[in-house]
C-alpha cells in the first residue's frame, strides 16, 4: 500500500493482487486491507471498510454469486445424489430428506463466500469505480459509438 498524490488530491493505492483479493473476499474481509468486515449483514456489502475506509459500494455482483454458487454446488450435489443412488439405492423420501437440507445449508454457507470473492475480483480489476477517478468513464468522450436507431 502506498499513498500517492494526484491533482492535489490524496488517495491510497493498494496492492491489487488478484489471488489475494479473491481470498480476502472469500473469507468475507475487505479486499484492500484484509482485516475489515466486507459485509454489514448476511449478503449486504458494507459501503466502506470499517478498518481502512476503502469504498466498497462500487461492487456490482448482481446475479453472479447465486449463479456461481449453483454452478459449484450443483456439481457436488448431483454427483453425490448419483453416487448414493448407485451404491445404496435409498428410497426417494430418504434422498429428499438428505439432499434438500444439505443443498440449502451448503448454498447459504457458500453464497456469501462466492459473493465476497466476486467483490474481491471486481476490486482487484478496478471494475465499476473501484479504480478511483482515473478509470471513471469520460462523459465528454466523442469516440463512443452512438446508440442504434430504433426500428420504425
Element (H, E) at 9: strand 9-13
In whole angstroms, what is the distance from residue 24 CA to residue 37 CA?
Answer: 10
**How near is the Cβ of 120 to Zn ion at its closest, in Å?**
11
Total residues interacting with Zn ion, rule: CB under 5 A = 8
Task: Name the residue nearer to Zn ion (CB basis): 52 or 84.
Answer: 52
In whole angstroms, what is the distance from residue 126 CA to residue 120 CA?
Answer: 10
**How near is the Cβ of 55 to Zn ion at its closest, in Å?**
10
With beta carbons less than 8 A apart as the criterion, state whether 1 and 12 touch: yes
Element (H, E) at 4: strand 2-6
Please select the residue that binds Zn ion; options are 28, 48, 51, 107, rule is CB under 5 A.
Answer: 51
119 interacts with Zn ion by CB under 5 A? no
| Neighbouring residues of 107: CB distance < 8 A, sequence distance ≥ 6 | 69, 70, 73
**How near is the Cβ of 130 to Zn ion at its closest, in Å?**
12
**Contact string 54-83 vs Zn ion (x = CB under 5 A):** x-----------------------------
Please select the residue that binds Zn ion; options are 32, 38, 61, 124, rule is CB under 5 A.
Answer: 32
33 interacts with Zn ion by CB under 5 A? yes
Angle, in degrees to the nearest 10, between helices 64-88 and 92-124: 150
38 interacts with Zn ion by CB under 5 A? no
Contact positions vs Zn ion (CB under 5 A): 30, 32-33, 36, 49, 51-52, 54
Amino acid at each position: 500500500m502506498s499513498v500517492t498524490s494526484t491533482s492535489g488530491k490524496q488517495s491510497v493505492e493498494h496492492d491489487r493482487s488478484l489471488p489475494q483479493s479473491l481470498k480476502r473476499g472469500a473469507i468475507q474481509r475487505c479486499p484492500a486491507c484484509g482485516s475489515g468486515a466486507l459485509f454489514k449483514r448476511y449478503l449486504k456489502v458494507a459501503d466502506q471498510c470499517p478498518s481502512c475506509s476503502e469504498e466498497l459500494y462500487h461492487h456490482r455482483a448482481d446475479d453472479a454469486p447465486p449463479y456461481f454458487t449453483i454452478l459449484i454446488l450443483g456439481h457436488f450435489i448431483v454427483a453425490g445424489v448419483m453416487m448414493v443412488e448407485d451404491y445404496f439405492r435409498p428410497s426417494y423420501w430418504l434422498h429428499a430428506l438428505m439432499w434438500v437440507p444439505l443443498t440449502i445449508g451448503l448454498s447459504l454457507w457458500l453464497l456469501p463466500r462466492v459473493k465476497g470473492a466476486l467483490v474481491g475480483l471486481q476490486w482487484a480489476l478496478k471494475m465499476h469505480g473501484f479504480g478511483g477517478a482515473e478509470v471513471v468513464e469520460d462523459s465528454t468522450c466523442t469516440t463512443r459509438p452512438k446508440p442504434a436507431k430504433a426500428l420504425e
